[in-house]
Amino acid sequence: MGFSQVRMDEWKALTSPLNIRDLTNLANELFAATEGGLFHIKDQVYKTYTTVDGLLGVDLAAIDHDHDANIWIGGNVPYGFVQVYDPMENESVVSFDFDLSGIIDIQVLDSLAFVFFQDGQDLGLMKFLYDDGWEYRDIFKNFPDDVGSINCFSATDETLYLGTENGLFSGGLSNNLKDPNSWVTVDDGMTFEITAMDQNDSLIIFSSSSSVYKYDLEQGIWAEANYSYEGNLTNITHVYFNNRDQFDGRFFIINNDEILALTETDLLASYGSGYGFSSIISNSDQYVFGSNTGFIFSDPKGEKSDVRFIPNAPVTSGFSAITVLDDGRLVGGSAHGISIYSDEGWRNILEIKTINTD
Backbone angles phi, psi at 11, to 5 degrees: -65, -15
The Cα–Cα gap between 68 and 87 comes to 11
In this predicted structure, which of 205-219, 256-270, 284-298, 341-355 has the lowest mean pLDDT?
A: 341-355
Alpha carbon distance, N-terminus to C-terminus of the chain: 36
Query: Does 189 or 64 have the greater pLDDT score?
Result: 64
pLDDT at 10: 47
> What is the DSSP code (8-state) at residue 192?
S
Categorize the per-residue pLDDT at 111 as very low, low, confident or very high, splitting at 50, 70 and 90: very high
pLDDT at 301: 66
Categorize the per-residue pLDDT at 302 as very low, low, confident or very high, splitting at 50, 70 and 90: low
Backbone angles phi, psi at 269, to 5 degrees: -165, 160
Residues facing residue 357 across a β-bridge: none
| Nearest-10 Cα torsion for 271, 278, 127, 185 | 60
Residues facing residue 127 across a β-bridge: 114, 138
- Answer for the pair 274, 257: CB distance below 8 angstroms, yes or no: yes
- Answer for the pair 134, 176: CB distance below 8 angstroms, yes or no: no
4-317 CATH fold: Methylamine Dehydrogenase; Chain H (2.130.10)
Categorize the per-residue pLDDT at 285 as very low, low, confident or very high, splitting at 50, 70 and 90: confident
Q: Render pLDDT for 162-172 as a digit per residue (tens, 0 to 9).
A: 999 999 999 99
- C-alpha triplet 192, 196, 201: angle, nearest 5°: 110
Q: Which residues contact 334 (CB under 8 A, 6 or more apart)?
A: 315, 316, 318, 319, 320
Q: What is the mean pLDDT of residues 250-254?
A: 89
- Answer for the pair 225, 249: CB distance below 8 angstroms, yes or no: no
Q: What is the 3-state secondary structure (H, E, C) of 281-320?
A: EEECCEEEEEECCEEEEECCCCCCCCEEECCCCCCCCCCC
In this predicted structure, which of 15-19, 51-55, 111-115, 225-229 has the lowest mean pLDDT?
A: 225-229
pTM as predicted: 0.89
Q: Render pLDDT for 206-227 as a digit per residue (tens, 0 to 9).
A: 999 999 999 999 999 999 888 8
